[in-house]
Every structure is written in structure tokens, then in C-alpha cells.
Structure 1
Amino acid sequence: FENTRKRLTKTPKLYFTDTGLACHLLGIESPEQLARDKMRGALFENFIVTEALKRRYNQGKESNLYFYRDSNQNEVDLLLKKHSGLCGIEIKSAMTYHADFEKALKQMDGWVKESVLDKAVVYAGKLENTAGEIKLLNYTHLDDVLA
């Protein structure tokens, strides 16, 4: 981001556009094996990021998707740059909500200079809440935060 503080790291984060290929390369051959694998969270994040990218492109929009990590290891899984600010998205593969999912989103206002318009946790669980400062969404409702 052009307006973030100078402590932003320059290490890129790579994503596979084919999560099936990523699983194959990791030797994951079944849903049961994936459920137990230590890479489950990273693969779920990869899936959500590529879905967000596809949805943005299919809507005829620029991707405007970024990953944020600074030299203090503060991290937000996905940032969407909108016309008037940012949307921060944390991605979790867990089926059960935990309050610590929101930690980075609650702190991100101090990390970036842009206005933060929306914040959301996108996860694999069923419980949803869109009333608070931070939306809690099942991953099937990703469009609600990308709009």
C-alpha cells in the first residue's frame, strides 16, 4: 500500500490457484487426511483467497486483494482495497468460533493509514454475526464482504 508505514515486509505470499494440485503435491489424498493435516489452515486460506480473486474478476473488477504483514509480524490474511478504504479479512479453517480470531482485525487500524471500512472473519463454522464491528461469516458468504 502506498500509505502504509515503512515497516511493511516485502516478502510475497504465494497461492495455488488449484487447491487440488496443492493437496496432491502435499500428498493429501482424501478429505479425511486433509481434516487431520497440519496444512489444513493454509490450504483453506489459499482456497478462500483464490475464490475471492475469481469472484472479483468474474464481476469485472480489479482484484485489489493484498496480504498484510509487517516487520513486527502483525498480519491480516486478506485486504481488499475499495474506493474509499480497506476491508480486512481474517480466514480461519476452524468450525468453532474463537474470540482470538478477531485480534489482528481489532488492531489493524493502528497498522495502516487508510480508512478501514469493513472487517470480517471468514471461517468454516456455521455461526454468523453481521451486527458488530467485525462480521463473522461462513466462507460460503464471502461475497457479503467482497461487495
Structure 2
Amino acid sequence: MERTYVMIKPDGVQRNLVGEITSRLEKKGLKIVGLKMLQINRELAERHYEEHRGKSFFEPLVEYITSCPVVAMALEGKDAVGTVREMMGATNPLAAALGTIRGDFGMDIGRNIVHSSDSPESAARELNLFFAPGEIVEYRRALDSWIYE
């Protein structure tokens, strides 16, 4: 099983979409192995968005992501990274297909509700940024045999 990182961004929290998003991910069959709400500080935001440093949108992005609490999730499942990315939809909500989280709830690229890791490598990096040792739990779900062969 693969792990991935998902963040419900400030606009998703402010718009009361935490339950809806979490429900969709669980109904798909993904297993939540870590979940918490946190207020991201500037240092963590800059580390998270390090690859965008120097770009014109870096500072507004850091200000936005630190403006309100977020919900951080560690998810586990078969091809979790790709599955979650598909469920999120295109980065620009206006280009995202209906039925995806961004396609159903987003209107602007700067307020696109969720973030998810784009590769297993970035998932490992992001999970280590947002979850301390012991905050991601290992457990077996009784229903896994009904999700996977």
C-alpha cells in the first residue's frame, strides 16, 4: 500500500468542506492513518512550498496557507498518490471535471480547496513535514478485504 499527504487548505476549512472531502476519500476506500488540524507557521509554509521560492506567487501562497487553520491527512491505499490526485481534479478548478473535489467546489486557482502530493517521493517529504513520529498509525481495517482482492 502507498501513502500520500492531503491538506484541506484554508478556504476548504472556512467553507465547511472538511467533512465532505474526508467522506469522499474514505468512501473511495482510502484509509486515514493520520489526521489533524493545525495552524501552519511561516517556517513550515516556506519549507512546504520550497520549490516555488523565487516565483511571483510564492509570497501570496505563504500568506494564504498561514491565514487560517488547515487539516492535514495521511492516507493509505493502492496507488494512493494517483487516486487522490484524480479525485482532486485539475489545479485550476474551472478546468477540473465535475465530480472532482475542485470541479465541484472551486472557482479560482488561488482558492482550490485542497493540496495532495504529486509523487510518492513528495508524499514522503510532506508527511515528514506535517506529521511527527508516532502521529501516523498502523492498523488493519476489517473491511479491507471488501475493498481489495
TM-score, normalising length from structure 1? 0.29
Which TM-score applies when normalising by structure 2? 0.29
More strand by share: 1
Normalized per residue, the structure richer in helix is 2
